[in-house]
Amino acid sequence: MVVMIALKSLKIHTYHDFYVDLLNPSSRRHQFTRDRLKSILLKVLIMEEEKSFLWSAILLSIPNVTILCSLFLGLSRVNPFFVLFSILFLDILLAILIIIGEKRKKSVEGKDKEVRTFSRKLFNIISGVVVVFLVAICGHWLGIFVVFGLAGAFLAHELIYVKIGKKTYFTDTFNALGRQVNPGEMYMPSFMALFSSAVVLLIAVLFLDVFNSPGLISMLYLVIILTWGIGDTCAYYGGKKYGKHKLIQNREKSLEGSLCFFGAGLIIALIGLSPLTMVLILAPSLPFPLYVVYSIFLAGIAAFFESLARHSKPYYDDNLITPICTSLLAIPLLFLLLIF
């Protein structure tokens, strides 16, 4: 496709004419062809086109290279087949994401901020589930590199788009799927959400790998991610519709919104960490009364840290603090409960 565009810009309609004009110095269009080729190459090098293919390739290489670095952990922890599978799966997923984003861009053009907010929250939830699926298939150590690689790609996109001023093939997709920020500012929530997801997975692996139960790590990781993602969505819409009593520690949040978060998180934890679920995934479980108390604790601390989020000074980003702080308290506690 790139070659055909170049030929069209040169006003050359066949490959034969292209080689004749390029290699025959006596051709009347030889000088024109050479000058045009120089112009095209110059535009590629300085990325003057609307969407930079070069920067898009660099952006795509970041998660791929990060995933390849997982091989340094050794064959005992990372399977080379799953490394290649995760790279292929991720590249196909990103290609599909571009297509979905282009279609979504047309449907949200001219719409208010509320539509984009819903797209962002839905995109975050679906992305979290897909990442958990990939982690469960490919292994937790490899999954850590996958999520860190995705976080690096999102950070690189903001640097390329905002600091360098170049659009990639992912830019319109991110804008359509909820990238909300003032012109000239970097949009960091997506990066921080992926970075914190990787940290949550790392904490879970470090504490729970001793039980030799991949299902336990995957399920707890899924519960924390869904509690954070779905709970945040429920808190946003619940607080917006029913919120009347502002919290003492944060006047931007309401008691009703926090209760919606807690309720959603509790349901997720009760289902995901139930003894029946643990039996189905061949994982160790807590006794019935203790598992209920632990689920209440997990949902409660997640709702508490979420209630501290602020969008005015002093800033407190829930995408980074809520999942990490929740994991630092909930995962070690589960480890101790299962040990004793």
Q: What is the pLDDT of residues 190-214, one digit of tens each?
A: 888 889 999 999 999 999 999 988 9
Structure tokens at 214: 């991949």
Q: Are 283 and 216 in contact (CB under 8 A)?
A: yes
Q: Is the peptide bond before 314 cis (omega within 30 degrees of 0)?
A: yes
> Does 212 lie in the same domain as 118?
no
Q: What pTM value is reported for the model?
A: 0.80
Residue 260 inside a domain? The answer is yes
Residue 58 inside a domain? The answer is yes
Least trusted range by pLDDT, from 47-56, 132-141, 286-295:
47-56
Residue 198 inside a domain? The answer is no
> Does 269 lie in the same domain as 331?
yes
Residue 223 inside a domain? The answer is yes
Q: Is residue 141 over pLDDT 60?
A: yes
Q: Are 63 and 153 in contact (CB under 8 A)?
A: yes
> Does 322 lie in the same domain as 271?
yes
> Does 249 lie in the same domain as 223?
yes
What local confidence, expressed as pLDDT, does residue 49 receive? 54
Residue 69 inside a domain? The answer is yes
What local confidence, expressed as pLDDT, does residue 173 receive? 79
> Does 60 lie in the same domain as 38?
no
> Does 338 lie in the same domain as 214?
yes
> Does 337 lie in the same domain as 215?
yes
> Does 162 lie in the same domain as 58?
yes
Residue 87 inside a domain? The answer is yes
> Does 264 lie in the same domain as 137?
no
Residue 139 inside a domain? The answer is yes
Average pLDDT over residues 280-293: 92
> Does 154 lie in the same domain as 125?
yes
Distance of CA 337 to the CA centre of its chain: 31
Residue-range definition of the domain harbouring residue 221: 205-340
Residue 97 inside a domain? The answer is yes
> Does 168 lie in the same domain as 118?
yes
**pLDDT grade for 34, boundaries at 50, 70 and 90:** low
Structural domains in the chain (count): 3
> Does 245 lie in the same domain as 169?
no
What local confidence, expressed as pLDDT, does residue 45 receive? 54
